[in-house]
Amino acid sequence: MTTGAYAAAYQRSLQDPEGFWGAAAAGIHWTRKWTRVLDDSAKPLYRWFVGGELNTCYNMLDRHIDAGRGDQLAVIYDSPVTDTVRKYTYREFRDLVARFAGALVNLGVQKGDRVIIYLPMVPEALVAMLACARIGAIHSVVFGGFAPQELATRINDAKPKVIVSASCGIEGQRVIAYKPLLDEAIKLATAKPEKCIILQRSMAEANLRAGCDLAWHTVMETAKPAACVPLAATDPLYILYTSGTTGIPKGVVRDHGGHAVAMYWTMKNIYNVQAGDVYWAASDIGWVVGHSYIVYAPLLAGCTTIVYEGKPVGTPDAGAFWRVISQHGVKVLFTAPTAFRAIKREDPDGTLIKKYDLRGFQALFLAGERCDPDTLLWAQQRLGVPVIDHWWQTETAWGIAANCTGLELLPVKPGSPTKATPGYDVRIFDEAGDQVKPGQTGNICVKLPLPPGCLPTLWHNDQGYIDSYLSRYPGYYLTGDAGYQDEDGYLYIMSRIDDIINVAGHRLSTGGMEEVLAAHPNVAECSVIGVAHELKGEVPVGLMVLKAGVERPEAEIVKEVVQMVRDKIGAVASFKQAVVVQRLPKTRSGKILRGTMKKIADGVEYKPPATIDDPEVLGEITAALRRIGYATAGTEPGRYAKTAGTEPGRYAK
């Protein structure tokens, strides 16, 4: 049996989960203590801290003020796209939240009512979220600028009493008018909100509809601060719809009690930060990373959180992250590997890092997309701090696997998010349901019950939750990811289960091939997809984005990566084709759209996900795949470029 702080915590979390999480819950203020830590009376649906009452907003703001830290910074808003920096103390931010909560109460919003938040990365987004938590309303954040049809499906499912939005958002150099998108979504929706609150921004003010739309500043002027409402630990805090959903969306539910306990626990034990530290999650509140680590966890822990309205490159350059870290004294940064691949591509030697004082910076955490070893090592060498890959999902709200630096910094193995986090009993099964041996790839599952903070169910859809996640391997939650565990217990997340390809009867991971391509000195980022083959079923094809300044012939680079895959994985992979592209299609959180590219390559009709960052890239991918003999059936390049996931012309400059 291994020893050490991590091993001890992990073993206790599995052997005595009620004792482990009961102790963790002592860091949260409860208005009434729970009667049971874990209620397993309705298996496979579990509930944490049954009988307990608390208020999440009180724990995030008022609690710190009551402890004498009201003058500490709670939120720093840094917006290079508007050249704005604003700072809020805990007291100032609590007062804004309490007043906006009062504004919602004035509009008839009560405990259990839903409020959709459709805002850009501005402090008011956090204000709206916490105002809902303060009065027991259930918020559902939808990306600002999301397409009307996708927003309409979420309106129909959540049935919000109020929608909070803004006149516009900013994407790079583009100003995106939100109000026309919102108006169209409401027109399409069968469930209609009673009121909309609109934050007017100077870049593009919106026309307000009489009797329906209210200006943010107007409702704030007449509102009185609302007090915190005691809520059951099992009451819903928010609904977050999984990315790319169409038709009937899957609304992941988060509860108050288990969520607060888990978020609070992770800040010290995974990220090694505490009250007063500056913590930055460079993400968007539309994603679970933004919910958990821009909003809830940092403020529960009494940290200073940063709301960043900008990009890793282009606002103004690839040194943007280093400027924010230096200017605001960031201790820990959490972002997606794709952000670092973009930085590495623009500044491969890390020259811009040297312009900034990063002496207070202690760790970089990455999640959201597989982190290839080359990117991790690049960041580690240039930053001189631990670079920690960790793995989790919208459904879990926090890391399934991580290097828990607040417990014990374990050796880093590039390509692995380290070991299962305390609370997660991870198992890997084959298609027949048998547990595989170390080193063998299979379907990654977590033994029930899931720890606090994970989804207890889907919004108004218990059976859908069971069917989607719990039915394939009874007693286990199916993550949807494929990978393996080594002899030391380190996990390797290789791909989504759907990205395991079958080449002449051999099940191969596209993630393993991507790892090889990413190690080529000229490759900035890459993706490998399985495309249809009449003899072998599927064969892999690589798409590569080169580093800035590389001018070598494409054929030479392709020949080299083909040989590298043959050397590392073997001839069985049948990896013979790759193509250089200018960029890869991604969601706004940085996930590469492998499934969409596969459909393009196979000439299959496809609908681009609503979360796509820039639909124009799909035409470029189509043209590139045609150069090597794919994408010959179906669509012309650019067929979906103007309308994918949005209004026509949204992405036009």
CATH number of the CATH domain containing 536: 3.30.300.30
Q: Is the pLDDT of residue 279 over 90?
A: yes
Same domain, 34 and 57: yes
pLDDT per residue as tens digits for the range 108-130: 999 999 999 999 999 999 999 99
Of 482-491, 584-593, 594-603, give the range with the top mean pLDDT: 482-491
Report DSSP state, residue 606. -
Mean pLDDT of the chain: 91
Same domain, 411 and 540: no
Q: 502 or 253: which carries more pLDDT confidence?
A: 253
* Residue 364 within any structural domain of the chain: no
CA trace torsion 76, 217, 219, 285 (10° rounding): -30
Same domain, 448 and 542: no
Among the listed residues 269, 282, 326, 331, the one whose alpha carbon sits nearest the alpha carbon of residue 304 = 331
* Residue 83 within any structural domain of the chain: yes
Q: Is the pLDDT of residue 86 over 60?
A: yes
Same domain, 530 and 464: no
Same domain, 503 and 445: no
* Residue 318 within any structural domain of the chain: no
Same domain, 525 and 475: no
Q: What mean pLDDT is predicted for residues 476-488?
A: 95
CATH number of the CATH domain containing 431: 3.40.50.12780
Q: Is the pLDDT of residue 652 over 80?
A: no
Same domain, 35 and 129: yes
Q: Is the pLDDT of residue 386 over 60?
A: yes
Q: Is the pLDDT of residue 152 over 70?
A: yes
Q: Provide the pLDDT for residue 307.
A: 98
Domain hosting 562: range is: 499-627
Q: Which residues contact 371 (CB under 8 A, 6 or more apart)?
A: 337, 389, 415, 417
d(CA 402, CA 388): 8
* Residue 645 within any structural domain of the chain: no
Same domain, 449 and 598: no
Same domain, 39 and 172: yes
Same domain, 249 and 303: yes
Q: Provide the pLDDT for residue 492.
A: 95
Work out the end-to-end distance of the chain between its first and last CA atoms, rounded to an integer number of angstroms. 60
Q: Provide the pLDDT for residue 635.
A: 41
Q: Provide the pLDDT for residue 569.
A: 82
Same domain, 585 and 610: yes
pLDDT per residue as tens digits for the range 239-266: 999 853 334 678 999 999 999 999 999 9
Ranking 188-197, 372-381, 482-491 by mean pLDDT, the lowest is 372-381
Q: Provide the pLDDT for residue 649.
A: 26
pLDDT tier, 505 (very low <50, low <70, confident <90, very high otherwise):
low
* Residue 376 within any structural domain of the chain: no
* Residue 316 within any structural domain of the chain: no
Q: What mean pLDDT is predicted for residues 616-639?
A: 77
d(CA 85, CA 96): 17
Helix axes 148-158, 179-188, angle to 10 degrees: 50
Q: Is the pLDDT of residue 56 over 70?
A: yes
User: Structural domain tally of the chain?
Assistant: 2
Same domain, 212 and 270: yes
Q: Provide the pLDDT for residue 633.
A: 58
